[in-house]
Amino acid sequence: MSGQTDGHNEQKRGWAARAEAVKAAKLDAAKVSAADEAALTSLPDGEDLEEEEYRPTEADGGMFGQMPAKKAKAFGPSAKRLMGLLKPEGPGVVLVIGLVVVSVVLNVIAPKVLGSAMDVIFGGIIGKQLPAGVTKEQFAEGLRQQGQDNFADMVGKMDLSNGIDFPKLTFLISIVLLMYFVANIFLWAQGYILNRIVMKVINRLRNDVQTKLNHLPLNYFDTRQRGDILSRVTNDVDNVQQGLQQAFAQLVSSVLTVLGIIVMMFIVSWELALIALIALPLSGIVAGVIGSKSQKLFAAQWKNTGALNGQIEESFSGHDLVKVFGRDADMLERFDERNEELYRASFGAQFVSGVIFPAMNFVSYLSYVGIAVVGGLRVASGSMSLGDATAFIQYSREFTQPLGQIAGMANMLQSGVASAERVFEFLDADEEVRENATGHLPARTDGHVEFKHVSFSYVKDRPLIEDLSFSAEPGHTVAIVGPTGAGKTTLVNLVMRFYELDAGRITLDGVDIMDLSRSELRSKVGMVLQDAWLFGGTIYDNIRYGNLDATEEQIMAAAKATYVDRFVRALPDGYQTVIDEEGNNVSAGEKQLITIARAFVSDPSLLILDEATSSVDTRTELLLQKAMAALRTDRTSFVIAHRLSTIRDADTILVMEEGKIVEQGNHTELLALEGAYYRLYRSQFAGEDAEEVAVDDSTAVHT
């Protein structure tokens, strides 16, 4: 409904244009987060897959397109809490409301005064027509005798002067100007103050979100779609900001203006007020009927846009495949079909929504004509002054504008509250167990790790690790092997205290990690994750992330030791190469090397490598292993790997199955056992079945 009012709708448009500018640029960010979402929601089972929902953007609907507002689950409480955010700014808010009230009252009264100015002019003109020396009463009597009763009534009621009373006119115009001046100053002042208040509140909200982020347990991130969390902390916060900034400010002034105008209309003429009010339900019906129709059409447009954009995305992403399989022509054909569908849908949507504007205009014209005619008749009969009639016309025109705004604002407010609710849910999530740091590690840590009867589960009643005990001696390399889902990654995550134990304890150099602060514990551990994740920044900064105090020499040394130096030298910008969002400029293997360098530079006592080299090609890995061997010498390390060469040299191999350690020993010992390790070894490294392999791959490799 935004934009259906006539040209007076400046304020709305300005903000809309701004919101649009913001939204469009937001597109890219949204796209990336949508990709994250898609990546993370990847269901193991495709059958439940629904058509991906397309999120409309402002560009699809333009100014007439209302996006379907997300509904809040509990509007009342959430709205209340949202308003609660403004509480610390109480005095400011009261001031703003006071300024709005004054400004609205002045704005509403001014047309009436302006109407009086009109009366002065009109009265002066009529007065001039009087023959000299004749009084108003005599003139009216004369008219009556001529049969012009109406005119006589009017003249009789008028305040006539001989010629326009310029001092009075000047006075009235000055009053009006003063009123408008004060009203606008107040309008500006309230906007100025409100903007600062809202920005302060939003700044605080954002900081709260950031603080919360650091206090949430990892479990929170594991159990939710990443895209969902992202949109809560980004898009939803933006949305709250817009809701507060626009809806809040305008809703108050719009509602007040409507009320004020209604009051003024009844004061000036209740008969005309009734005519104007008839237009109210009428425009409501028009907007409702066309609006709901256009909502449906917009939904169709969005659906088609989504489908078409999806196809464009696929065709461009899978460009090579389309070429290789020679499907260009089919793709074009399908594109043309969908493009045509989109054209039809969007034409319908744009046309019907475009009709709202003229239709609402028409309704307002109806009341305009009604007021002009009835007002004219009443002025002519003397029961109303001309100034009141012109004031009334102004009122009736100004009336429709805030009404349209209220409808638009309600939509925005609704979506703002829904977003606020989602942010609040995030802020209300359970936090990590508070720290109870009573202990400290010895100054020189050996990296002696012990698990004592450890039990852990992500979901209650579904134990993952049960009663697990083992000890990793200082300086030893512990390899953890086992099938997917055996709990390997969980085990090393427990050492980092990413999760809290259900039972048992883990000690580092004899100190229970529960007695340590998380930061003290983690600063002693270097971890390289399977998912080589880098920050958007230079390669140099990414390595330095492991130790912000590292000198350039230390960073270079780490880079050299981990073979990062070798490929960085080949990049045009060297260490200053910026890792971009897509990460296209470095390969997955190179990324892994950088993450290893990052751990290297942090110089930990305990090293955890979780599939750290899975994407590195085998030759580089071989070189890297030598480097890692050096890194590992005086450190305890936990290594999760699937490559035999990495596991073979470990001091201890833990074989995990279903959360338990089923075997423990070194490579030779375990092979000799011919148990779980032996089976795993056969299936992973030598083909599934020795016989089959012998028949098929009769090469030297698999003997």
Options 238, 446, 509, 663; binder of another protein; rule CB under 8 A: 238
Options 132, 324, 443, 459; binder of another protein; rule CB under 8 A: 324
Spatial distance between the Cα atoms of 491 and 308, rounded to a whole number of angstroms: 46
Q: Which is nearer to another protein, 75 or 151 (CB)?
A: 151
Any bridge partners for residue 99, and if so which? none
Spatial distance between the Cα atoms of 434 and 144, rounded to a whole number of angstroms: 94
692 binds another protein (CB under 8 A): yes
Least distance CB 75 / another protein (angstroms): 26
Spatial distance between the Cα atoms of 451 and 218, rounded to a whole number of angstroms: 21
Contact between 494 and 506 (Cβ < 8 Å): yes
Options 70, 81, 97, 151; binder of another protein; rule CB under 8 A: 151
173 binds another protein (CB under 8 A): yes
Options 138, 195, 438, 469; binder of another protein; rule CB under 8 A: 195
CA distances from 502 to 21, 472, 486, 693 (A): 50, 21, 18, 44
Q: Which is nearer to another protein, 233 or 280 (CB)?
A: 233
Least distance CB 81 / another protein (angstroms): 21
Contact between 352 and 292 (Cβ < 8 Å): no
Contact between 512 and 486 (Cβ < 8 Å): no
Q: Which stretch binds another protein (CB under 8 A): 71-79, 334-342, 472-480, 549-557?
A: 334-342
| Residues 6+ away with beta carbon under 8 Å from 547 | 554, 601, 602, 603
Q: Which stretch binds another protein (CB under 8 A): 73-81, 313-321, 410-418, 507-515?
A: 313-321
498 binds another protein (CB under 8 A): yes
Q: Is the dihedral of CA 568, 569, 572, 577 positive or negative?
A: positive
Q: Which stretch binds another protein (CB under 8 A): 20-28, 83-91, 134-142, 409-417?
A: 20-28
Which CB contacts under 8 angstroms, 24+ apart, belong to 16-24? 16/63, 19/58, 19/242, 19/246, 20/58, 20/59, 20/63, 22/238, 23/57, 23/58, 23/59, 24/57, 24/58, 24/59
User: Interaction with another protein in 598-637: which residues (CB under 8 A)?
Assistant: 598, 602, 616-622
95 binds another protein (CB under 8 A): no
Alpha helices (H) along 487-617: 488-495, 518-523, 539-544, 552-561, 564-568, 588-601
Options 92, 142, 148, 212; binder of another protein; rule CB under 8 A: 148
648 binds another protein (CB under 8 A): yes
Options 22, 74, 134, 690; binder of another protein; rule CB under 8 A: 22
Contact between 293 and 349 (Cβ < 8 Å): no
170 binds another protein (CB under 8 A): yes
62 binds another protein (CB under 8 A): yes
Spatial distance between the Cα atoms of 133 and 636, rounded to a whole number of angstroms: 117
CA distances from 73 to 76, 220, 234, 239, 240 (A): 9, 21, 20, 16, 16
Reading the block at residue 128, the tokens are: 């001039």
Spatial distance between the Cα atoms of 379 and 163, rounded to a whole number of angstroms: 20
Q: Which is nearer to another protein, 184 or 633 (CB)?
A: 184
Q: Which stretch binds another protein (CB under 8 A): 86-94, 402-410, 629-637, 680-688?
A: 680-688
Q: Which is nearer to another protein, 61 or 659 (CB)?
A: 61
Q: What is the x/- site pattern for another protein, positions 563-592, by CB under 8 A?
A: ----x--------------x-x--x-xx--
Q: Which stretch binds another protein (CB under 8 A): 265-273, 460-468, 520-528, 650-658?
A: 520-528
User: Interaction with another protein in 286-305: which residues (CB under 8 A)?
Assistant: 305
164 binds another protein (CB under 8 A): yes
Options 74, 362, 485, 679; binder of another protein; rule CB under 8 A: 362
